[in-house]
């Protein structure tokens, strides 16, 4: 068995947050959100983690996280660079935004040979997510269909008080497989549930309470890398022309097309853990409070890496 690998997407600079939020401490021991994700992943059984970062941030990441955890889990770095494009393509003048989550995972295509889990660097997922993914991936293999997995969160457990968030809104079939995922880039708290807007906040459409959403916690076999390679070419041909400075290649959109084309299926692994994250600077106080409570409840030691 190829032991599953954890891949953490950490190349984004956090435009809404206003800085490199992935390395902002969230407790008085200097831990960052990634520390808790890696700690939970080790508890679940993962033995290797790959950080997708910008090359210029490698020294900073090693200082803040990599060197601390390297005696507990194998650590590798994979670069996501704007210039990493297929032959014949160049970065549009003025573009500084990374190409998105689909491109981030595509950067792994020559580095990862095992089944792998994918998470964001700046999201706290809860321990259950890592156990669900590891247990699925250690048995996963493609047969007539690609066999992937996604951790599904209840939407009201994934919102912030401080603005809008992006979420992949999901629907599932009677067997618990993903039927459809729609990336909504402007979701906010609404009454005791959520709502999304497609017109810069002029109108809001209610999302039913209990709706499952993706937080980019995925489990993949190797086949996803081939699909991303092909889809990225289509993205560059089509989407980039319409919005050269900000168009993004979203991983959930590629997964959705794989499902629609009948190439694969995605098992939704449901969790009722609460998401915590720092989409905005104002979110940090909420995350600090939540982590303090989890420590007080005994889920984490004061110092994770002693």
Which pLDDT score is estimated for 181?
Answer: 87
Which pLDDT score is estimated for 128?
Answer: 97
Which range marks the domain in which residue 261 is found? 5-146+214-296
The CA distances from residue 68 to 64, 176, 215, in Å, are: 7, 38, 26
The CA distances from residue 31 to 23, 61, 266, 267, 268, in Å, are: 9, 13, 33, 32, 30
> Tokens in use for 263?
């190439």
Q: In whole angstroms, what is the distance from residue 220 CA to residue 1 CA?
A: 15
Q: Into how many domains does the chain fold?
A: 1
Q: Convert the pLDDT of each residue in 202-250 to its tens digit.
A: 999 999 999 999 999 999 999 999 999 999 999 999 888 889 999 999 8
Asked if the structure places residue 153 within a domain, the reply is no
Asked if the structure places residue 165 within a domain, the reply is no
Alpha helices in 52-206 (DSSP H): 58-61, 67-69, 101-106, 127-137
Q: In whole angstroms, what is the distance from residue 172 CA to residue 270 CA?
A: 11
Taking alpha carbons only, the member of 140, 110, 146, 143 closest to residue 1 is: 140
Asked if the structure places residue 180 within a domain, the reply is no
pLDDT tens digits in sequence order for the chain, 306 residues long: 679 999 999 886 444 434 455 677 899 999 999 999 999 999 999 999 999 998 888 888 888 889 999 999 999 999 999 999 998 899 999 998 889 999 999 999 999 999 999 999 889 999 999 999 999 999 999 999 999 999 999 999 999 999 999 898 999 999 999 998 888 989 999 887 899 999 999 999 999 999 999 999 999 999 999 999 999 999 999 888 889 999 999 898 899 999 999 999 999 999 999 999 888 888 989 999 999 999 999 999 999 998
Backbone φ and ψ of 109, nearest 5° = -65, -25
Asked if the structure places residue 12 within a domain, the reply is yes
Which pLDDT score is estimated for 18?
Answer: 41
Q: Which residues pair with 116 in a beta bridge?
A: 5, 220
Which pLDDT score is estimated for 15?
Answer: 42
Q: Where are the beta strands (DSSP E) in 155-305?
A: 165-172, 178-190, 193-196, 205-207, 212-220, 264-271, 276-277
> Tokens in use for 106?
């595509």
CB atoms within 10 A of CB 246: 11
Which pLDDT score is estimated for 240?
Answer: 82
Domain holding 44: CATH number? 3.90.550.10
Asked if the structure places residue 171 within a domain, the reply is no
Asked if the structure places residue 65 within a domain, the reply is yes
Which pLDDT score is estimated for 223?
Answer: 97
| Pairing, β 123-124 against β 116-120 | unpaired
Which pLDDT score is estimated for 58?
Answer: 87
Asked if the structure places residue 206 within a domain, the reply is no
Asked if the structure places residue 204 within a domain, the reply is no
Q: In whole angstroms, what is the distance from residue 18 CA to residue 30 CA?
A: 20
């Amino acid at each position: 068995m190829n032991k599953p690998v954890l891949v953490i997407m950490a190349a984004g600079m956090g435009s809404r947050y206003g800085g490199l939020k992935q390395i902002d401490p969230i407790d008085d021991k200097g831990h960052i959100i990634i520390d808790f994700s890696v700690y939970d992943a080790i508890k679940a059984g993962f033995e290797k983690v790959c950080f997708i970062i910008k090359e210029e941030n490698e020294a900073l990441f090693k200082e803040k996280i990599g060197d601390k955890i390297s005696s507990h889990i194998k650590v590798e770095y994979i670069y996501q660079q704007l210039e990493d494009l297929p032959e014949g393509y160049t970065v549009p003048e003025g573009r500084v935004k990374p190409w998105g989550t689909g491109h981030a995972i595509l950067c792994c295509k020559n580095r990862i040979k095992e089944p792998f889990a994918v998470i964001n660097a700046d999201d706290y997922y809860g321990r259950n997510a890592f156990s669900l993914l590891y247990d699925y991936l250690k048995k996963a293999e493609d047969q007539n269909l690609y066999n992937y997995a996604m951790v599904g969160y209840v939407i009201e457990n994934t919102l912030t008080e401080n603005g809008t968030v992006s979420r992949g809104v999901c629907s599932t079939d009677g067997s618990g497989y993903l039927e459809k995922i729609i990336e909504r880039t402007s979701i906010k708290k609404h009454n005791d549930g959520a709502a999304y807007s497609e017109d810069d906040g002029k109108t809001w459409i209610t999302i039913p309470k209990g709706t499952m959403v993706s937080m980019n916690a995925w489990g993949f076999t190797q086949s996803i890398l081939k699909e991303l390679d092909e889809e990225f070419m289509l993205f560059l041909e089509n989407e980039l022309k319409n919005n050269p400075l900000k168009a993004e290649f979203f991983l959930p959109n590629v997964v959705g097309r794989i499902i629609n084309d009948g190439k694969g299926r995605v098992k939704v692994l449901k969790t009722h853990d609460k998401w915590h994250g720092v989409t905005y600077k104002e979110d940090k106080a909420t995350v600090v409070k939540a982590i303090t409570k989890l420590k007080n409840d005994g889920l984490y030691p004061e110092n994770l890496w002693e």
